[in-house]
C-alpha cells in the first residue's frame, strides 16, 4: 500500500496476477464529509480455475471514503490482472472487496459481482463492510437480475 501514485502519468506494465498488482491510494480531500464513490467494471474477466474457460462479470463497487481514495488507474490495472487468474466467482468478488477495504479504510464498502452464466446458472456475489451513514443516499447498483443480460 502506498500514499503515492507511482503509476499515474506514466507507462505501467500490466500486472501478472492480482497479488502482484499494486493498488495506489491518495488522501481524501473531504475526509469529514460523507459521500459515495462508485466504480463500475462492465467487462470484468477472470478464468474458471477448473476448466480454464473465461468468466465474465459486471462489478459495481460503492464506498464511502474514510481517509483514502483509490487511484483509478491502479484500480484499472488491478482489475485487468484477473484476466488470466483462475478463481471462482465468490473468491474474485470477495477478494477484491477485502483488498480495497484494507487499503482504503472506508466507512462503508460494498461490492456486487454480477456474473454471466456458467453451466447455465448466473452467480451473483455480494460483500460489504462497515455501516452506511444514515444521511447518505445509496442508489441501486443498476444491474438487473439475470434475464439474458
Residue positions annotated with a catalytic role: 48, 55
The answer to whether the CB of 146 falls within 8 A of the CB of 87 is: no
Question: Which residues touch 78 (CB under 8 Å, ≥6 apart)?
Answer: 15, 18, 21, 22, 23, 96, 99
102 three-state secondary structure: helix
- The CA angle 41-1-129, to the nearest 5 degrees, is 55
Alpha carbon distance 125, 122 (integer Å):
10
Q: Kindly state the helix (H) or strand (E) to which residue 13 belongs, with its residue range.
A: none
Amino acid at each position: 500500500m502506498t500514499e503515492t501514485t507511482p503509476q499515474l502519468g506514466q507507462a505501467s506494465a500490466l500486472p501478472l496476477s492480482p497479488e502482484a498488482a499494486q493498488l495506489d491510494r491518495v488522501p481524501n480531500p473531504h475526509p469529514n464529509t460523507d459521500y459515495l464513490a462508485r466504480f463500475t467494471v462492465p467487462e470484468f474477466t477472470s478464468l474458471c480455475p477448473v476448466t480454464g474457460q473465461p468468466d465474465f462479470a459486471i462489478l459495481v463497487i460503492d464506498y464511502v471514503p474514510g481517509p483514502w481514495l483509490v487511484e483509478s488507474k491502479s484500480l484499472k490495472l488491478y482489475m485487468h490482472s484477473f484476466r488470466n487468474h483462475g478463481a471462482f466467482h465468490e473468491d474474485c468478488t470477495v477478494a477484491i472487496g477485502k483488498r480495497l477495504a484494507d487499503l482504503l479504510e472506508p466507512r462503508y464498502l460494498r461490492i456486487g459481482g454480477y456474473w454471466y452464466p456458467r453451466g447455465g446458472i448466473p452467480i451473483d456475489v455480494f460483500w460489504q463492510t462497515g455501516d452506511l451513514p444514515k444521511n447518505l443516499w445509496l442508489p441501486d447498483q443498476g444491474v438487473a437480475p439475470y434475464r439474458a443480460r
